[in-house]
Amino acid sequence: MTEAPQQEQRRSSLLYDQWMESIGIPIHRGHYQSDLRTLELGWWEERQVNAAFLQMKGMEGVSEARIIEIPPGKTLPPLKMPIGETIYVLSGSGLASIWAGEGPKTSFEWGTHAMFHVPRYAYAQLSNARGDQPARLLHYNYMPMAMTVVPDPDFFFKNPYEDPSLLYGQGENLYSAAHAVLGAGAKDAMAEAEGAVRDDSIAAASHGGAWWVGNFFPDMAQWDKLSPYRGRGAGGFSVKMLFPGTNMSASMSVFDASMYKKAHLHGPGRVIVIPRGEGYSLLTEPGKEAVVCPWGEAAVFTPPGGWYHQHFNLGTEPARYLKFGHLPQFAGAGDYRDQIEYPDEDPKVREYFQSELAKRGRESQMPDIVYKDRDFEWAYGDDD
């Protein structure tokens, strides 16, 4: 196992990269960042905020992640983009106002560990409710892909087009409580929620529980509406979240102390942040030595497309990892055909895990049978 390099320099001909570098704020590369709450930022004059970009290995050309820090008691200028954006609160509390056209503003309060989505063509204005401390937020979107198709930054930041129907006329407040979608009516409910049926989403629901549809999730560190995540190991649970009117989504997995998940792979561009827990993940390019990414709360890492990755809980409580990014064109990888079963993994994986636990005076809680029986199924208490 090797520690991941934190920075690597590269040049790119992608317009998005050129635009990002022109902003003049820090760009953090590598495989992971240990704590986004303390990450170096720089002043972004146009946005009137301290900020930094993340462009870690596996994100290039696909997804954007940036950190902003709103000064105490300040309100940022409104921002409208023709693409949707998901926001996760790393620290602090505040107020968000969302509107489109001449329609009324929808305002809601957010706090640490909240997650919300801003629809495309909608204005979003963020305020820090605290006068004594800054607030830090993680923004996630697909700007690099979009800017490759439309190579004009002004299209994204000075576009006058609006579509109020994405916010209004839906019959409900899009920032009210999320609702679950599961079972025989899932396809119809999904179509109603986003205006199109995603067969990959329905398939995912069948093995990972319900999808929760909504634009606001108040606390991902405390979210307890979880479903058994059968097949991925460690007796874990998960929740999958869909944002209405878009193909953007998120998911979160929860698994117990002194346990670890099966190695698996999927497409590029996904960003994983830790709401709670202590542990590490292994990122393994086939045929090469694994890279160790240690994590705690507010850490972030990105598994590159086609790399196996595996998550390990070294703490004394259940660990959570929140994943952004699941576009249909990258959904071909990531199911149970693309994972390594415990009996087939390199023995060094469990040996390293056991050694890390021993440093903390604890032992692995993985049952021996998982290394012998490829068809072993974890009990969730809901079996017939």
Bridge partner residues of 276 (DSSP): 320
Homologous superfamily of the 179-371 domain (CATH): Jelly Rolls (2.60.120.10)
Structure confidence by residue, pLDDT tens digits, 65-122: 999 999 999 999 999 999 999 999 999 999 999 999 988 999 999 999 999 999 999 9
Structure confidence by residue, pLDDT tens digits, 148-159: 999 999 999 999
Domain ranges of the chain: 2-166, 179-371
**By C-alpha distance, which of 359, 352, 362 is closest to 291?**
352
Structure confidence by residue, pLDDT tens digits, 325-369: 877 777 654 455 689 999 999 999 999 999 999 999 999 999 999
Task: Answer yes or no: same fold for 2-166 and 179-371.
Answer: yes
Between residues 193 and 14, the one the model is more confident about:
14
Sign of the CA dihedral with 189 first, then 191, 197, and 201 last: negative
Q: In the structure, what pLDDT confidence band is assigned to residue 382 with cuts at 50, 70 and 90?
A: low
pLDDT for residue 140 is more than 90: yes
Between residues 297 and 102, the one the model is more confident about:
297
Q: How far is CA 21 from the centre of its chain?
A: 23
pLDDT for residue 201 is more than 60: no
Between residues 10 and 321, the one the model is more confident about:
321
The model's pTM is: 0.90
Instruction: List C-alpha distances in Å: 69 to 138, 174, 192, 218.
Output: 9, 26, 36, 19
Q: Does domain 2-166 have CATH number 3.40.50.300?
A: no
Q: In the structure, what pLDDT confidence band is assigned to residue 196 with cuts at 50, 70 and 90?
A: very low
Per-residue pLDDT at 199 = 39
